[in-house]
């Protein structure tokens, strides 16, 4: 695995074995050598001049459509946090998913995909790769027997989402990795809703992890970006080749902002997890709520799996609830929403957001697909920010009183 920290210069590291909070600040980063700037500069240049043909052929930085120094620093940090051999950053989370599928799937291949994953990922599979001759099985990833039964001789990828967006269904990552490897397939996991603060899928023998850095890596609703982290450099080299062909590298400005945001990820997610636990507990006993889903609740069906796979007792900042009663309850709830809550389609930021999956994250799915994963008209997705938990609960209670 490549070295994540520089040990050159006047000051040495006391240890190479750093805790995650220190890695989030320092991994992959060193002071700029010419000026000593503590922040990585924004190398906003399309081209980098070379001294000779030989130096160009060494494949350093020559053109920002392929590589960029600012982006490379972020990639080193992502690789360190995800426990990966190598990582590459993209212009969006969907660009990362498209490139991963395009890298490893060909006409005649088969992929097993979670039936509860992000709606646009399912749309991509059906409408783009399906037309290119790739077949997909959409399976409940909480059912290991169903995954095993779906495996075919031409299965090349098993694609999980951890947890699923927005139903928060969990996957037994190590078991699915074993099932994939038994048939020579790769296990790809989109762990955007968890972040490496909650789970590192590569530690469960997953081959490739995908992140929408727009979410918890950014955490401030500033940027759009994505990342792919690979357990092997061989897979990473293939991802790099296809990113280059697609022209989907992240911009240096986005990489710079993301580098700064990551430094507080451990602080943000601890607070977001605490708020989510308090809010889920409050909602679970509210008379206008039919159901609450949060991996930290004792009543969560996969609580045992969450406890085994999640780190530091954290279960993330996402939850959902289902409103009781009349058909227009969700509309009334959203129209009556009290601040500091806002209604919007993103997640993972410091501002708390409510979203309505049936027209947002899963708006491309038909009624049968939505019903199969439990998304109804009363289903509300919650992304907890870092505001005071009691303020958030008070505002939710006031909103529910209007429904």
CATH number of the domain residue 294 falls in: 3.90.1150.10
Mean pLDDT of the chain: 95
Distance CA 64, CA 47 (A): 6
139 and 275 share one domain: no
320 and 377 share one domain: yes
Helices (H), ranges, 223-360:
233-246, 252-262, 265-284, 303-309, 329-335
Q: What is the mean pLDDT of residues 246-256?
A: 98
**Residue 387 included in any domain:** yes
343 and 368 share one domain: yes
194 and 285 share one domain: no
Residue where one domain finishes, among candidates 262, 297, 321:
262
Which 8-state DSSP code applies to residue 129?
A: I
Helix (H, G, I), strand (E, B) or coil at 238: helix
Q: What is the pLDDT of residue 58?
A: 80
Q: What is the mean pLDDT of residues 226-233?
A: 99
Q: What is the mean pLDDT of residues 225-236?
A: 99
Do 250 and 44 meet the contact criterion of CB atoms below 8 Å apart?
no
Distances (CA, A) of 354 to 117, 307, 341, 358, 379: 19, 26, 7, 13, 11
122 and 251 share one domain: yes
Residue where one domain finishes, among candidates 223, 243, 262:
262
Residue whose C-alpha is closest to residue 316's, from 174, 170, 205, 160: 170
What are the tens digits of pLDDT across the range 136-172? 999 999 999 999 999 999 999 999 999 999 999 999 9
Say how many domains are in the chain: 2
Residue 133 has pLDDT above 70, yes or no: yes
Q: What is the pLDDT of residue 9?
A: 56
Distance CA 375, CA 111 (A): 24
382 and 235 share one domain: no
123 and 38 share one domain: yes
Residue located via tokens 């409050």 = 282
What are the tens digits of pLDDT across the range 284-334? 999 999 999 999 999 999 999 999 999 999 999 999 999 998 778 999 999
Q: What is the pLDDT of residue 140?
A: 97
- C-alpha dihedral (51, 55, 56, 59), degrees to nearest 10: -140
Residue 55 has pLDDT above 90, yes or no: no
Residue whose C-alpha is closest to residue 339's, from 350, 353, 328: 353
* Token duo for residue 61: 């930085």
Residue 3 has pLDDT above 60, yes or no: no
94 and 223 share one domain: yes
142 and 100 share one domain: yes
Q: What is the pLDDT of residue 14?
A: 87
212 and 305 share one domain: no
Kindly report the pTM of this predicted structure: 0.95
Q: Can you give the residue range of the structural domain that contains 136?
A: 20-262
* Token duo for residue 173: 């990552």
295 and 238 share one domain: no
Confidence at 6, pLDDT banded by 50, 70, 90: very low
Q: Picking from 89-103, 184-198, 213-227, 349-363, which range would have the lowest pLDDT averaged per residue?
A: 349-363
**Residue 5 included in any domain:** no
133 and 230 share one domain: yes
Q: What is the pLDDT of residue 10?
A: 66
Q: What is the mean pLDDT of residues 362-372?
A: 87
Do 384 and 317 meet the contact criterion of CB atoms below 8 Å apart?
yes
Residue whose C-alpha is closest to residue 186's, from 88, 101, 120: 101
- The angle at the Cα of 382, spanning 374 to 263, to the nearest 5 degrees, equals 130
């Amino acid at each position: 695995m490549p070295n994540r920290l520089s040990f050159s210069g006047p000051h040495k590291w006391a240890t190479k074995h750093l805790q995650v909070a220190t890695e989030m600040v320092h991994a992959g980063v060193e002071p700029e050598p010419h000026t000593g700037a503590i922040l990585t500069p924004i190398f906003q240049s399309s081209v980098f001049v070379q001294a000779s043909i030989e130096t160009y052929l060494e494949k350093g930085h020559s053109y920002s459509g392929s590589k960029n120094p600012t982006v490379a620093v972020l990639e080193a940090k992502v690789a360190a946090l995800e426990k990966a051999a190598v990582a590459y950053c993209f212009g969006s989370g969907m660009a990362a998913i498209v490139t991963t599928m395009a890298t490893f799937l060909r006409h005649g291949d088969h992929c097993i995909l979670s039936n509860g994953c992000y709606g646009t990922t399912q749309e991509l599979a059906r409408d783009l790769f399906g037309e290119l001759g790739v077949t997909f099985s959409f399976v409940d990833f909480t059912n290991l027997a169903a995954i095993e039964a779906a495996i075919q001789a031409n299965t090349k990828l098993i694609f999980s989402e951890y947890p699923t967006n927005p139903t928060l269904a969990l996957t037994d990552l190590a078991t699915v990795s074993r099932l994939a490897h038994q048939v020579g397939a790769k296990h790809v996991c989109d762990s955007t809703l968890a972040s490496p603060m909650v789970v590192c899928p590569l530690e469960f023998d997953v081959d490739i992890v995908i992140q929408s850095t727009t979410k918890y890596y950014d955490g401030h609703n500033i940027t759009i970006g994505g990342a792919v982290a690979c357990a092997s450099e061989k897979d990473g080299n293939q991802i790099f080749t296809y990113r280059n062909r697609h022209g989907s590298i992240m911009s240096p400005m986005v990489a710079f902002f993301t580098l700064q945001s990551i430094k507080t990820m451990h602080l943000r997610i601890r607070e977001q997890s605490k708020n989510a636990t308090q809010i889920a507990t409050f909602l679970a006993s509210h008379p206008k709520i039919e159901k609450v889903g949060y991996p930290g609740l004792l009543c969560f069906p996969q609580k045992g799996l969450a406890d085994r796979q999640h780190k530091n007792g954290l279960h993330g900042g996402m939850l959902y609830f289902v409103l009781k009663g009349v058909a227009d309850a969700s509309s009334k709830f959203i129209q009556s929403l009290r601040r500091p809550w806002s209604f919007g389609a993103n997640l993972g930021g410091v501002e708390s957001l409510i979203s309505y999956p049936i027209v947002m994250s899963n708006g491309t799915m038909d009624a049968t697909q939505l019903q199969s994963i439990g998304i109804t008209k009363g289903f509300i997705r919650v992304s907890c920010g870092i505001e005071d938990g009691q303020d958030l609960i008070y505002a939710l209670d006031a909103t529910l009183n209007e429904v």
